[in-house]
């Protein structure tokens, strides 16, 4: 009897242990086969991947250059629960002409109500055996993701250019899909363009022009819809290393190759930190100046703004950043845009580690101080605008454009949080943890809560002191910057403070500043700190001495033009106009337009400039500027 009891007790205990391990196991199982049902609810998608999930997309599209339309078919391969019969897809401005099943029979479909940001749900009634739908469609000439660049707006000014920007929820404007980051699928594409043009995607890519103008692509690793990307134009390629290279317009290629000569080194360093690069090739495509972002981490092919080709290699961190997304973002993806910091905060942290590794700590400390100051400003502005809730890492963007979550908070509060954790547990433990994290969730997604659970289980629960010091609740769910955040210090930038202190005390003239060895970051810091205190006269004086208004580096121009406007300096308006009409990178446009919009004169002038500039902006930038000048 006693033995029997002991025996049952042992069986009971082992089943409990088994159950617990299975539970944990299941939670961390990756989505490698890419066929698991997705269990998160995404507030920015109409789709229903919990019932029916798109596993693979075959695109067959022609680029109609004359009418600015992509036309063809998208064939979606589905995985569905037994009784699921209605597939819901995201679309925006798409014109759907037919939906058929595997055998070519028409399926019943209809479009729901349209929303200006979320688009229009496409509902398709499936038959019991349907596991593929073929959608015949074309895009709208004003499709939000696509920019049709005129020859005059390109670098070489000879040929047209097309590119897409799908993040956050613009993929639906060129591909009918489940436009939710947690839904991952593989894809193939056949794209027809002009015979002398190259076409490129976030997939296997050609390196040479094909006479037929028809290109085939394959992405056999699952990706989210926001990473779907397409570009076409007069583009040439040059290899930069073992598995990396550069695509650009012919007149831009050599400059770009020089600027990013360290690419292979970055890939190698990143791999040493957090595990082998998983995406086979890593190439970069330099786009025309209207590209609204610095860079976009399209898998295997980062899209980049030409404003980082500065001739002094001062913006190479952009490559470190987009490359780092190959782990944080593309491999382990934010479950919804409310968890955006899991993409950008992790990536900024990872970028910092790569930069430290290659260029040393003093260099990166300058970047950290600049970022810290920006973050403090951003948070102060958000607070003053009643947007304090958006200073939390975990966002609540329900009902809003996810673009509103795109701020320094995700990037830099996120990064500083990870720096804080690194400090608490020590670099060695932290790196081991991150390595395992990326492996565990590779080709899958995570929520903020899921990450925290994993963090506790793998790390913080092992040590009470760590757990307390981590102060996770405050960092993730609290507003602003917690008091235990470590403010970065840069000896290099302290030198700039000293120069400015002497200047404002009347002890030194700008002509006498020793600026030997100044990097773009020194200049940026100098301009920003100077701008906080300067009088109009002093702004004039600095422009005369340092010729800031006539520099070619866009970072410096943006900072200088912003403080010029804020301080009422108007002599450089022609240069500001030329800047605002020649580039479309939103990060550079919005601070200047915002400063202009603060006075009636400035706002009027800005409106006139915007009118001229708008045809050259991508919809993402145009929309933001419109909001500012409204």
Residues at the site binding ligand BES, with contacts judged by CB under 6 A: 167-168, 293-297, 318, 321-322, 325, 344, 406, 587
Instruction: Report what 164 binds from Zn ion, ligand BES, none; CB cut-off 5-8 Å by kind.
Output: none
Q: Contacts from 438-442 at CB under 8 Å and sequence distance 24+?
A: 438/274, 438/275, 438/327, 438/328, 438/331, 438/332, 439/275, 440/28, 440/30, 441/28, 441/30, 441/331, 441/332, 442/30, 442/32, 442/278, 442/331, 442/332
Residue closer to ligand BES, measured from CB, 432 or 626? 626
155: enclosing H helix or E strand: none
Q: Which residue, 548 or 588, is less far from ligand BES as judged by CB?
A: 588
Q: Which does 446 bind (CB under 5 to 8 A by kind): ligand BES, Zn ion, none?
A: none
| Residue number closest to ligand BES, CB atom | 294
Closest approach, Cβ 532 to Zn ion, in A, equals: 28
- 406 vs 470, beta carbon nearer ligand BES: 406
Q: Which does 222 bind (CB under 5 to 8 A by kind): ligand BES, Zn ion, none?
A: none
Beta carbon of residue 300, minimum distance to ligand BES (angstroms, whole number):
15
Region of 2-10, 239-247, 339-347, 588-596 interacting with Zn ion (CB under 5 A): 339-347
Nearer to ligand BES, 273 or 508 (CB): 273
Among 249, 259, 269, 322, the active-site one is: 322
Q: Give the length of the chain.
A: 630
Counting DSSP H helices and E strands in the chain, the numbers are 20, 20
CA 258 to chain centre: 24
* Count of residues that interact with Zn ion, criterion CB under 5 A: 2
Closest separation in Å from C-beta 519 to ligand BES = 16
Q: Which stretch binds Zn ion (CB under 5 A): 242-250, 337-345, 387-395, 522-530?
A: 337-345
Under a CB-based contact definition with an 8 Å cutoff, are residues 197 and 209 in contact? yes
Contact (Cβ atoms closer than 8 angstroms) between residue 592 and residue 627: no
Q: Which letter does DSSP use for residue 29 in this model?
A: -
Cβ proximity of 351 and 295 under 8 Å? no
86 neighbors 124 (Cβ within 8 angstroms): yes
Cα 455 to Cα 449: distance, rounded to the nearest angstrom = 10
Cβ closer to ligand BES: 233 or 414? 414
| Residue 168 binds which of Zn ion, ligand BES, none (CB < 5-8 A, kind-dependent) | ligand BES
CA 93 to chain centroid:
23
Q: Report d(CA 11, CA 426) in Å as an integer.
A: 40
Distance in Å, CB of 120 to ligand BES, minimum: 21
User: Quick one: what does residue 296 bind among Zn ion, ligand BES, none, with the CB cut-off 5 to 8 Å set by partner type?
Assistant: ligand BES
Q: How far is the CB of 75 from ligand BES (least distance, A)?
A: 27
Catalytic residue check, 254: no
Where does this chain touch Zn ion (CB under 5 A) — which range of 14-22, 149-157, 340-348, 420-428? Answer: 340-348
CB under 8 Å to 365, separation ≥6 — which residues? 488, 489, 490, 491, 492, 493
**Contacts for 599 with CB less than 8 Å, ≥ 6 apart:** none
Residue 293 contact among ligand BES, Zn ion, none, beta carbon within 5 to 8 Å by kind? ligand BES
- Provide the minimum distance between the beta carbon of 587 and Zn ion in the complex, in angstroms, as a whole number: 12
For the CB of residue 490, give the shortest distance to ligand BES in the complex, in Å: 18
Comparison of 315 and 572: residue with beta carbon closer to ligand BES:
315
SS3 106: strand
Calpha distance 265→242 (Å, rounded)? 10
Cβ neighbours, 10 Å, residue 442: 17
From CA 276, how far away is CA 282, in angstroms rounded? Answer: 12
Residue 390 contacts which entry, Zn ion, ligand BES, none (Cβ below 5-8 A, type-dependent)? none
Exposed/middle/buried for residue 11 (C-beta within 10 Å: 0-12, 13-18, 19+): exposed
Q: Position of tokens 């701008």?
A: 531
Q: How far is the CB of 165 from Zn ion (least distance, A)?
A: 13
Residue of 187, 215, 411, 441 marked active site: 411
Whose Cβ is closer to ligand BES: residue 257's or residue 406's? 406
Instruction: Name the E strands within 6-143.
Output: 52-64, 69-80, 86-91, 95-100, 109-111, 120-125, 132-138
Residue 149 interaction partner, one of ligand BES, Zn ion, none, beta carbon < 5-8 Å per kind? none
Nearer to ligand BES, 520 or 572 (CB): 520
Binding at 594: pick from Zn ion, ligand BES, none (beta carbon under 5-8 Å per type): none
* Nearer of residues 297 and 594 to ligand BES, judged by Cβ: 297
Q: How far is the CB of 337 from ligand BES (least distance, A)?
A: 8
Contact predicate 265/358, CB 8 Å: yes
208 tagged catalytic: no
Binding site for Zn ion (CB under 5 A): 344, 347
Instruction: Show which residues are catalytic.
Output: 322, 411
């Amino acid at each position: 009897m006693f033995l029997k009891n002991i025996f049952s007790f042992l069986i009971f205990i082992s089943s409990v242990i088994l159950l617990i391990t299975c539970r944990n196991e299941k939670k961390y199982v990756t989505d490698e086969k890419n066929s698991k049902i997705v269990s998160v609810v995404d507030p920015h998608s109409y789709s229903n991947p919990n019932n029916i999930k798109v596993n693979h997309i075959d695109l067959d599209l022609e680029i109609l250059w004359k009418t600015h339309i992509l036309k063809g078919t998208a064939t979606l391969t589905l995985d569905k629960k037994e009784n699921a019969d209605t597939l819901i897809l995201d679309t925006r401005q798409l014109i759907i002409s037919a939906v058929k099943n595997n055998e070519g029979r028409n399926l019943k479909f209809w479009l729901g109500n349209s929303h200006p940001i979320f688009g229009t749900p496409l509902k398709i009634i499936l038959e019991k055996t349907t596991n593929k739908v073929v959608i015949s469609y074309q895009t709208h000439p004003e499709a939000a993701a696509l920019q049709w660049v005129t020859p005059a707006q390109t670098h070489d000014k000879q040929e047209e250019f097309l590119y897409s920007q799908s993040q956050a929820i613009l993929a639906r404007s060129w591909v009918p899909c489940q436009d939710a980051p947690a839904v991952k699928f593989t894809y193939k594409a056949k794209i027809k363009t002009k015979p002398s043009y190259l076409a490129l995607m976030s997939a296997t890519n050609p390196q040479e022009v094909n006479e037929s103008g028809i290109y085939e692509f394959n992405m056999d690793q699952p990706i989210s819809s926001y990473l779907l990307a397409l570009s076409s134009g007069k583009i040439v390629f040059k290899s930069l290393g073992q598995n990396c290279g550069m695509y650009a317009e012919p007149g831009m290629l050599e400059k770009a190759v020089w600027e990013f000569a360290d690419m292979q080194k970055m890939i190698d360093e990143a791999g040493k930190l957090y595990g082998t690069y998983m995406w086979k090739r890593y190439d970069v495509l330099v786009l025309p100046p209207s590209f609204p972002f610095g860079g976009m981490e399209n898998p295997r092919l980062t899209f980049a703004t030409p404003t980082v080709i500065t001739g002094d290699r001062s913006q190479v961190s952009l490559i470190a950043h987009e490359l780092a997304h190959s782990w944080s973002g593309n491999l382990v993806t934010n479950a919804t845009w409310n968890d955006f910091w899991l993409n950008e905060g992790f990536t900024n942290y990872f970028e910092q580690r790569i930069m430290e590794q290659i260029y040393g700590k003093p260099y990166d400390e300058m970047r950290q101080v600049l970022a810290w100051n920006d973050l403090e400003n951003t948070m102060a502005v958000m607070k003053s605008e009643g947007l304090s809730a958006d200073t939390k890492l975990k966002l609540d963007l329900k009902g809003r454009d996810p673009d509103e979550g795109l701020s320094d908070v995700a990037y830099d509060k996120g990064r500083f949080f990870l720096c804080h954790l690194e400090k608490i547990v020590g670099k060695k433990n932290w790196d081991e943890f991150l390595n395992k994290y990326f492996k565990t969730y590779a080709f899958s997604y995570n929520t903020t809560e899921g990450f925290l659970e994993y963090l506790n289980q793998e790390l913080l629960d092992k040590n009470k002191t760590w757990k307390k010091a981590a102060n996770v609740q405050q960092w993730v769910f609290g507003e602003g910057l917690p008091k235990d955040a470590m403010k970065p210090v840069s000896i290099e930038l302290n030198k700039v403070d000293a120069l400015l202190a002497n200047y404002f005390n009347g002890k030194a003239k700008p002509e006498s500043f020793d600026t030997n060895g100044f990097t773009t970051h020194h200049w940026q810091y100098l301009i920003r700190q100077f701008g906080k205190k300067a009088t109009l006269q002093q702004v004039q004086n600095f422009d005369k001495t340092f010729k800031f208004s006539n520099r070619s580096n866009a970072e410096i121009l943006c900072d200088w033009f912003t403080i010029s406007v804020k301080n009422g300096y108007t002599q450089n308006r022609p240069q500001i106009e030329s800047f605002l009409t020649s580039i479309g990178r939103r990060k550079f446009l919005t601070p200047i337009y915002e400063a202009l919009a603060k006075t009636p004169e400035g706002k009027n002038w800005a409106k006139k400039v915007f009118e001229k500039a708008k045809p050259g902006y991508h919809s993402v930038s145009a929309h933001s500027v419109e909001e500012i000048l409204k």
